[in-house]
Structure 1
Amino acid sequence: MTTTSAQVEARRAVVVDDEVALARLVAGYLERDGFEVSVSHDGARAVELLRAVDPDVVVLDLGLPGIDGIEVCRQLRTFSDCYVVMLTARAEEVDTLIGLSVGADDYITKPFSPRELMARIAVLLRRPRRAAAVASPPTAPPLTIGALTIDVEGRETYVDGRPIDLTRTEFDIVAALASRPGAVLSRRALIDAVWGPGWVGDDHLVDVHVLHVRQKLGDTAREQRYVRTVRGIGYRIGTGT
């Protein structure tokens, strides 16, 4: 029996941007790629929409009326692990750091090519969702680095037995490093491992995610127990001490 496209549940996307024309343009590209798309132009209404839709991916503008994209993303992360691509008209590093620290998976600066946006979304969607990852019983023992435990199959992380709420991107970075103890991975190697070799963008995106991982694991730039910087090269997993 052949499965028709109508029988396959469509992926869901939400576009949140107060620029109506841009939101329609992005929605059109997503619809052509097979997504069911909902659109919001207001931050507060967007949160209600996101709860109702339960999307697979969200394209979220940073500068929104009402509550901004950072707060929308912060609230979204309390009930969803969907992928978030944040749009910003400001390229200053502080916006990128703040946006990603609340759980955005990627960012893109306006003006941008819709085709580039779709390519980035395609790369994100090739990575497993948490629900799919825990659907089958674990087949590998957890990795342990000092007080840090990484259950790769269950996609869960603990420090001293306390669960750590990492985003999927943050977890994938830690798992990629922990799977190769002693090895130093460059930013590009981590991007290939986490985002995939087809990802195009600024590889300093990795630094932002590592910063937030350290904050969640109780590390600092000086005390690098779990994720260590190797100057001029990249990162490696620490020893836990």
Structure 2
Amino acid sequence: MASLLLVEDDAELASLIQDYLHKHGFDVQVVGDGPSALSCILGTRPDLVLLDIMLPGLSGLEVCRQVRPHYSAPILMLTALDDDVDQMLGLELGADDYIVKPIKPRLLLSRIRALLRRATLSAADGVNQAGEVFNSPLLHIDLSSRSVVLKGQKVHLSTAEFDLLALLKAEAGQVVTRETIVQHLRGFDYDGLDRSIDRRISRLRRKLKDDPLEPQIIKTVRGKGYLLCLPGGNPTSALSDES
């Protein structure tokens, strides 16, 4: 049974969501303010966090910002229908996805299952690709440990950020379309309007210290998508890397 943390200060809404998700096989803990969310996320390490933006004590955006360097499991933001800025900012701060209020229960359930499924598949990929390492003079990507090192310094990535980098790495030197990225990360078809992928790319570039004006690691191919460009990079194995 997957453990979920629901952070929502509307007690009635929280109770309805909790009951609905309980009926679909989830263990759901509820907290109603930002500081409690912060301590609970880092203390109990739930499999997924449902995080409202408007919270007493500490906003959901600030909670996301503070926990992301220490917590890599999925975070699903709950936002108001017209809060485009908050939706994008949530993704910038490391949220994996967002869903707008008023919440449609079946859509919420679908998004939760998609995020958990992706996290499970990512962990399985790490086991299946044990020892697979990608090295370049600039960047070291270890798929089995899901770790990234940039110029000798470890880079902290969320599940979604690492999955995005791993997808680009799998097609290194080739363009990966927005359609492919949306389907891979969010589980549905690209509608031509969703800008969340651009935000994710922007955040990943920032963490990799890749100049957004003249990127050297993740390049934009106008009208097509993105490609990972690491001159001198070669996949290798952990054994050959150590030798």
Q: TM-score range by the shorter chain?
A: 0.7 to 0.9
CA deviation after TM superposition for structure 1 residue 35, in Å: 1.2
The CA distance in 1 between the partners of 2:57 and 2:50, in whole Å, is: 17
The count of residues paired between Structure 1 and Structure 2 equals 232
SS at the partner of 1:55? coil
Counterpart for residue 167 of structure 1: 158
Counterpart for residue 72 of structure 1: 63
Judged with a 3 Å threshold, the aligned counterparts in structure 2 of structure 1 residues 141 and 135 are, in CA distance, closer, same or farther, namely: closer
The CA distance in 2 between the partners of 1:89 and 1:128, in whole Å, is: 26
1:36 counterpart = 2:27: yes
Question: Cα deviation per residue 1:113-164 (whole Å; 9 max; x = unaligned)?
Answer: 1211110111111123599459858545312344012112221111112111
The CA distance in 2 between the partners of 1:198 and 1:13, in whole Å, is: 26
Matches within 5 A, 1:11-90: 11-89=2-80
SS at the partner of 1:27? helix
Could you tell me which runs of 5 or more consecutive residues in structure 1 were left unpaired when the two chains were aligned: 1-9
Question: Cα deviation per residue 1:78-103 (whole Å; 9 max; x = unaligned)?
Answer: 44222110011153443123212222
Cα RMSD, aligned residues only = 2.7
More helix by share: 2
CA deviation after TM superposition for structure 1 residue 235, in Å: 0.9
Q: Which moved more, 1:212-221 or 1:128-137?
A: 128-137
CA deviation after TM superposition for structure 1 residue 49, in Å: 2.8
Q: Which moved more, 1:84-93 or 1:100-109?
A: 84-93
The CA distance in 2 between the partners of 1:89 and 1:201, in whole Å, is: 22
Counterpart for residue 240 of structure 2: none
CA deviation after TM superposition for structure 1 residue 54, in Å: 2.0
Q: TM-score, normalised by structure 2?
A: 0.84
Counterpart for residue 90 of structure 2: 99
Q: Which moved more, 1:22-31 or 1:59-68?
A: 22-31
Structure scoring higher RCO (CA < 8 A, sep ≥ 6) equals 2
SS at the partner of 2:132? coil
| Equivalent position amino acid for 1:165 in 2 | H
2:201 pairs, out of 182, 205, 210, with: 210
Q: TM-score, normalised by structure 1?
A: 0.85
